[in-house]
Amino acid sequence: MSFIDFPDKDNETHKSISGLSLIVLKGRNGEIKKARKQFIEENILFTDFIETMTGDTYAEQLVKTKELGQEEHNYFGLLAFGEIDVINPITRKLSLYR
């Protein structure tokens, strides 16, 4: 990965933005869960963002997350990093986010 700062006209800096193109796809909760499971099976580096990670303090978010099982989570996002020829077959059913 390559992260760079993007300065704007007002000399404000937008820090640590990817210098590489990113493809953003969208899917329903079940599709994201399925992709996440496959990322685990294929040992693909990923991170996810679930509903319990919003609102309150991080300590309260941790408690809310711990109270739910894997199938109960509502996924907002999933980010994967790896070889495109490994990731594409997993994400092929997801649509381009516009």
Residue 83 forms part of a structural domain: yes
Residue 58 forms part of a structural domain: yes
The pLDDT value recorded for residue 12 is: 93
Residue 12 forms part of a structural domain: no
* CATH code of the domain covering residue 56: 3.40.1490.10
- The residue segments making up the domain with residue 81 are 24-96
Q: How far apart are CA 11 and CA 7, in angstroms?
A: 6
Instruction: List beta partners, residue 3.
Output: 18
Residue 10 forms part of a structural domain: no
The answer to whether residues 71 and 50 touch, using CB atoms and an 8 Å cutoff, is no
Residue 59 forms part of a structural domain: yes
Predicted TM-score of the model (pTM): 0.79
How long, in residues, is the chain?
98
Q: Per-residue pLDDT tens for 2-33?
A: 889 999 999 999 988 888 778 888 999 999 99
Residue 62 forms part of a structural domain: yes
Question: Structural domain tally of the chain?
Answer: 1
